Structure 1
């Protein structure tokens, strides 16, 4: 039996039961079903979830707005599962803090596989935290503590999603090294995830807004046009 706790949020009871049944067959037993945003927020206030699967079209609140509310209190991975399939909707979901976006109709086994990818990545991070030391990148104004999963800017903690943190941590581990968008996607999201270049670009844009003095003229996460991105530690900006 798997110990992770999963929250499913959708106003279609049949869909909830379908996904729940598939997850149970895969060994997941701690599954909470909710049909409204209010119920979801209540559950999130009561316990810590390992993954949240979220519909966009809910009766009492837009799922994008719900994602924004969830991100005020937790970095738990959020997977959107929705009939809204336009590129604009997908980009909106990712920009607001979603970690993945699946459109209906869907293959239930694919949903389970996407959930397992998120959980596997979390387990790997926890194991690394238990065995690694000296995993603090302190650049004065900006500090990234991998052991605590915290980012601070000028002493104030910066709220970020799990994927934002993983992306920044990866870049910190490889300072001044250029990565293509595809390389970043494979290193952070995994080679078998379904996504596109926009996913990486959106996450970098969100990090810039949180870390750069001027996000439109970044000094830390810079873009080499036609090549890719690289992280320049603030204390080493002069080497750019």
Structure 2
């Protein structure tokens, strides 16, 4: 199946290199050189993945990310020279799915692109599945068809990663997951002590679904081990 990638990178040499490589991998690539142009392309085209630089003219990558997350769960892979843990936390906290620092190899980039699309599409229903499949826990519901989360019948906007993490907990109600297990299952990548990535996603998810994030009822911390769905 043909996949479409939106590449948002203001360095035209890097953009051309990445575009050429992805096209050799049979991707259709839309290129934008600033945040405003990227928004226009996203509104006009079906996109399966966004490769997003943070340092963009007109509209920054972070502001672009915040805007699209209001209505879209499309996977976003940040590509940026800003590689500190703080910038990673900000990017992932605002709804990015993965992060790769410049300079990067085309082999690694391609692998991460395929992995991100695979993770996103594995939740799409097949024609033979029932028309509705909804998970319930207390006053929380998660619709696997529409990606809609609700708490007390109020809709909650989740990012792709937040949705997948919540689904993992709700389909394994009595199981405790370590941070390493969560990372391997959701990111489908080797875990190198990436605690900050997990911490940011859990914190942001709690802020969206918990009445009191400091006293969580849905996602509980099992100290020294990991996380599980509440009792």
* Distance across 2 between alignment mates of 1:193 and 1:223: 19
Q: Calculate the TM-score normalised by the size of structure 1.
A: 0.90
Q: Find the counterpart in structure 2 of residue 12 from structure 1.
A: 11
Q: Which has the higher helix share?
A: 1
Question: Is 2:112 aligned against 1:114?
Answer: yes
Say whether the 8 Å CA contact 1:220–1:231 is kept in structure 2.
yes
Deviates more, 1:148-157 or 1:101-110: 148-157
Q: Give, in angstroms, the shift of residue 61 of structure 1.
A: 2.2
Change (3 A) 1:51 1:195: farther
User: Which segments of structure 1 move beyond 2 Å, counting only runs of 4 or more?
Assistant: 128-135, 138-141, 191-195
Q: Find the counterpart in structure 1 of residue 34 from structure 2.
A: 36
- CA RMSD of the aligned region, Å? 1.7
* Distance across 1 between alignment mates of 2:165 and 2:67: 22
Deviates more, 1:77-86 or 1:193-202: 193-202
* Distance across 1 between alignment mates of 2:18 and 2:81: 15
Q: Give, in angstroms, the shift of residue 6 of structure 1.
A: 0.5
> Structure 2 matches for 1:193-204, cutoff 5 A?
196-204=194-202
Q: Find the counterpart in structure 2 of residue 237 from structure 1.
A: none
Change (3 A) 1:213 1:129: farther
Q: Find the counterpart in structure 2 of residue 50 from structure 1.
A: 48
Change (3 A) 1:172 1:116: same
Question: Is 2:40 aligned against 1:27?
Answer: no
Q: Secondary structure at the match of 2:2?
A: strand
Q: Give, in angstroms, the shift of residue 47 of structure 1.
A: 2.5
Q: Find the counterpart in structure 2 of residue 90 from structure 1.
A: 88
Q: Find the counterpart in structure 2 of residue 99 from structure 1.
A: 97
* Distance across 2 between alignment mates of 1:148 and 1:58: 32
Q: Find the counterpart in structure 1 of residue 228 from structure 2.
A: 230
Q: Find the counterpart in structure 2 of residue 78 from structure 1.
A: 76
* Distance across 1 between alignment mates of 2:128 and 2:184: 24
Q: Find the counterpart in structure 2 of residue 66 from structure 1.
A: 64
Q: Give, in angstroms, the shift of residue 205 of structure 1.
A: 0.8
Q: Secondary structure at the match of 2:47?
A: coil
Q: Find the counterpart in structure 2 of residue 208 from structure 1.
A: 206
* Distance across 1 between alignment mates of 2:163 and 2:184: 15
Say whether the 8 Å CA contact 1:142–1:151 is kept in structure 2.
yes
The size of the alignment, in residue pairs, is 230
